[in-house]
Amino acid sequence: MILTEQHDSVALLRLGHGKANALDVELCREMTELFRKLSEGLSRAVVLTGQGKIFSAGVDLLRLTAGGPGYVRTFLGELNGLCETVFSFPKPLVAALNGHAIAAGFVLACMADRRIMARGTGRVGLPELLVGVPFPPGPMEVLRFALPSDTLPRMMYSGATHEADPALDRGLVDEVVETGELLPHALRSAEALGALGEETFRLTKSQIRHPALKRMREAQREIGAEIEKAWSSPETLSRIAAYVKSTFKPGGR
């Protein structure tokens, strides 16, 4: 599901899970375990990218509706674990957005220290409310940390998606480059961050992100059960099924 390449001191991770790199229980678990190993490994930095014109299309909604409440509860636990693990990853992480990064796929990108997007290949956005689900504590705190405070509510309430240059103007990504330059530029950026000094970077990143991690854990304790109940209710699963039916073509994602 995740292909790993080593480029000098930088580990390049390519998501390769189905057509859309949609997040499900298995992908969340594999990514969580991989980042735990990388935190102890020799690589000084990591670049995360997708395949074709999709970085990640978000949560696998078909699996949610097929799996029912039991699967939903398991998935939410894995998703929040993924958020905490990747968001607290002690080394530099650069997200190279080769294409669409939608919903939880954009949340994944927002866990990185830098988001670099290829021009003309996709869109970024947060359509969760259009799907009919509230944001779990992990993703909410990641977004609250990564995005401008005046932009986040508008993105959530509208569900709008944006191409690369408008995304840059809104502070949704840090840089925009041409498609052919995406990976070379991302690798150079990761290498430069990795050269700052492992302990210096770790301590600085930890201080910057500590308040968000604290809120993430507190919110999970306070409202995690309520969010889980909302996601797994028959009404919510029915809304998700209706969204899937209206959005996805038969035989595709």
Indicate which residue of 26, 30, 33, 128 is catalytic.
128
Q: Which of 162, 152, 155 is nearest to 101 (CA)?
A: 162
Question: Is 128 among the residues known to form the active site?
Answer: yes
Residue whose pair of structure tokens reads 């998501």 in the numeric block: 15
Cα–Cα distance for residue pair 233/229, rounded to 1 Å: 6
Buried-state track 183-215, b at ≥16 Cβ within 10 A, e below 16? bebbbebbbebbeeeeeebbeebeeebeebbee
Cα–Cα distance for residue pair 93/32, rounded to 1 Å: 14
Q: In DSSP terms, which residues pair with 7 in a beta bridge?
A: 10
Catalytic (active-site) positions: 128
